[in-house]
Amino acid sequence: MSPTQSPQGKGRGRNLSITDYNVYDDAKTYYTTEDRHHNHRAGARTRTYSQNSLFKQFERLGLQKEPYRRGSHDESTIPHSRRFLIQVEPTLQSLQSQEDTDGNMQITIEDNGPKVLSLRTAASNGYNRFDIRGTYMLSNLLQELSLAKEYGRKQIILDEARLNENPVNRLSRLIRDHFWEGLTRRIDASSIEIAARDPKDWTDDPRPRIYIPRGAPEQHAYYTKVAEDRPELRLDVIYLPEKITPEIVRDMNAKPGLLAVDMEEIVDPETGEKTLRGRPFVVPGGRFNELYGWDSYMESLGLLVNDKVDLAKSMVQNFCFCIKHYGKILNATRSYYLCRSQPPFLTDMALRVYDKIKHEPGALDFLRQSLLAAIKEYYSVWTAEPRLDPVTGLSRYRPEGLGVPPETEAGHFIHILEPYAKKHNMTFDEFVHAYNHGDIKEPTLDDYFMHDRAVRESGHDTTYRFEGICADLATIDLNSLLFKYETDIARTIRNVFHDKFEVPDDWLATNNPGASKLETSAMWDRRAKRRKLAIDKYLWNEQAGMYFDYNTAKREQCNYESATTFWALWAGVSNPKQAAVMVTKALPKLEAFGGLLSGTEESRGEIGLERPNRQWDYPYGWAPQQILAWTGLYRYGFNEEAERLAYKWLFMITKAFVDFNGVVVEKYDVTRPIDPHRVDAEYGNQGLDFKGVAKEGFGWVNASYIYGLQIVNAHMRRALGTLTPYDTFMKAVEDNRNKTLSELV
């Protein structure tokens, strides 16, 4: 946008007043629009004349007429909001030295500065000053100055409205205009140098490396040319074998690499030649460059609310590519994840996108491809060995694999492996190599790592709910998701594809005899009914009023109380009576100050030095658990409960955002009212490590915020903007209701 053009495209050919710009433009637009940062009031100060001046005396004597008196510089005469004339670097240094008393490049409630800074007003050409007060406005000032500096500005005219903006509006705007962009990646020549480097490559010669499936020769040619044109990258381009086995994946660990995802054909604007471009996707956090499994579904919910439909669609297309070429939606697109999936959400994700694009050309083909991928994944992954339990008919997280998970640091399992190394009189490295390659047999270790891989596939890594037993569990979360697959596929085949859906040979699941070339809704309806009966028989507990996991090895129901019980509501597994019992019995156990707990304190058990906390246990809350519970409660008509849980979660995020310099993190301690982003668990908390201004937030928390604002009502949204705790808000609502009733009497 040129300086002589308004943001709406009006006023071409004229100089704009600064009032023509949107105060809440994204940072790039705000700080790169030159005209808005030129002080149009600048210039030599002219003389003003007091009513008691010498000139007034002359006038009374008839000797002199006083010139017209100019208006004051005071802001009260200006019809628009206050603006500040700021020299960026000096003000930033002054702000940090005075207010950032702990030196972490953030201004929070824990800093001990005076919490007031005087800024020069633009309307007075810097002559008058106005005090900026409080943690929120000062931290916003730090963020805005950090952005201005990043965009190369020496001087800015800053709207006060960006400093005292309603925090709900500010966070929503940052997510829409900044965070999604900061988390968006695409894999092609523009990014391969960074993306193909693996921070978990512990080998002696870490280098960029990408693996290409045999069914994508055009990608192999593309990346081979990139490697030839840019030899300094040392890019290693390797074809994957036709058949992927645990042995092959183990041997690939000596050369870990990125896995190719979907690309589209485009015309290079510079050369006019056809080339490939990677389809974009959103990563969980800023340190990632690969496509992740269930994070992507949660992120898509926020993307769709923010009208970023093409990005959500692109993520579905990337998943279809993964299923077609790798057999599954992977934990993430790195070579060591080839045997491991993640919680399956593809049908709901694809149907939500289709609902937004069904009027567009190619929409039906998009849905067809998505359905083909989901059906193949269902047959080849979730209802095949080793994940299917043939006795119950339920499914488990139970990925294949050999040896020690390679993506962990060398010392991650040292406490587990060292005793075995001593037992065999070997060094640690010698034992790991011998064990991984089957030279040494240790069945106990085999079981340990089988369960460890299953925990990672579940997405709930780590929790005492799964420790040492995960691969044997038919979980309520996985089987709810598969019930949703079955009902989604049945409904879509019936309503969209006229109850006949043909599966081409290249989409057939060859490892499952249940796969069919012609799918009908009746087949999938029967599967859903069978699964619901099995869930009711093995996982539902009427007395406790919730669903539990079932141990397929011990043939008994577990007793860990988990928020995943509400996934049954999201999927539509429960009958109305079961839903009501869950709201009565399960919800009070799992509800806390900031929303839903992952599990109860009783189920987690005592923790200490020998038994540290796990991040998917009490007292932590995670965005996916909140989102699925809200949606499920709404599905069964428990609107007040859904709104209450959403309000608590949104309040906690907003309060931390206001008090701690705009922080948005991976997970929260939902029992801590003051600093819930402080998490004392083994993997810490992603999203804390930023200087000055947060650029990404965290993927599924961003989504939960945007999605949650669709759940709460308008009164609640206004109360969130004033940081009103839930109990205070409800008391005000009740008092207002009582007052209204008393006036009617």
Q: What is the mean pLDDT of residues 291-319?
A: 98
User: With contact defined as beta carbons under 8 Å apart, do 452 and 405 qualify?
Assistant: yes
For tokens 């929070």, name the residue: 108
Q: What is the mean pLDDT of the chain?
A: 92
| Separation CA 246–CA 400 (nearest Å) | 6
Looking at the predicted structure, is the pLDDT value of residue 66 above 90? no
Residues 6+ apart with CB under 8 A from 694: 143, 174, 179, 661, 662, 663, 664, 687
Which residues partner with 665 through β-bridges?
Answer: none
What are the tens digits of pLDDT across the range 242-262? Answer: 999 999 999 998 899 999 999
Can you read off the two tokens belonging to residue 707? Answer: 């999605």
For tokens 């896995």, name the residue: 259
What are the tens digits of pLDDT across the range 501-529? Answer: 999 999 998 888 878 899 999 999 999 99
Backbone dihedral angles phi then psi of residue 238, each to the nearest 5 degrees: -130, 135
What integer pLDDT is reported at residue 73 of this predicted model? 44
What are the tens digits of pLDDT across the range 219-236? Answer: 999 999 999 999 999 999
Binned at pLDDT 50, 70 and 90, residue 47 comes out as very low
Can you read off the two tokens belonging to residue 169? Answer: 């509006």
What are the tens digits of pLDDT across the range 389-439? Answer: 999 999 999 999 999 988 877 678 999 999 999 999 999 999 999 999 999
Q: 669: helix, coil or strand?
A: strand
Q: Is 205 exposed, middle or buried (0-12, 13-18, 19+ CB in 10 A)?
A: exposed
Which is higher by pLDDT, 565 or 408? 565
| Separation CA 164–CA 150 (nearest Å) | 22
What are the tens digits of pLDDT across the range 715-741? Answer: 999 999 999 999 999 999 999 999 988
| Separation CA 296–CA 200 (nearest Å) | 21
Binned at pLDDT 50, 70 and 90, residue 3 comes out as very low
What integer pLDDT is reported at residue 12 of this predicted model? 38
What integer pLDDT is reported at residue 515 of this predicted model? 81
Taking CA atoms, 678 is separated from 342, 667, 672, 687, in Å, by 27, 9, 9, 11
| Separation CA 1–CA 8 (nearest Å) | 10
Q: What is the mean pLDDT of residues 72-88?
A: 68
Q: Which residues are tagged catalytic?
A: 461, 666
What is the share, in percent, of the chain residues with pLDDT greater than 90?
A: 84
| Separation CA 25–CA 31 (nearest Å) | 9
Selection from 379, 382, 356 nearest residue 367 by Cα: 356
What integer pLDDT is reported at residue 520 of this predicted model? 97
Q: What is the mean pLDDT of residues 237-243?
A: 96
What are the tens digits of pLDDT across the range 317-376? Answer: 999 999 999 999 999 999 999 999 999 999 999 999 999 999 999 999 999 999 999 999
Selection from 283, 294, 249, 264 nearest residue 564 by Cα: 294
What are the tens digits of pLDDT across the range 160-214? Answer: 999 999 999 999 999 999 999 999 999 999 999 999 998 888 788 899 999 999 9
Residues 6+ apart with CB under 8 A from 736: none
User: With contact defined as beta carbons under 8 Å apart, do 298 and 215 qualify?
Assistant: no
User: With contact defined as beta carbons under 8 Å apart, do 317 and 269 qualify?
Assistant: no
| Separation CA 232–CA 641 (nearest Å) | 58
For tokens 């966070």, name the residue: 171
Looking at the predicted structure, is the pLDDT value of residue 307 above 70? yes
What is the share, in percent, of the chain residues with pLDDT greater than 70?
A: 92
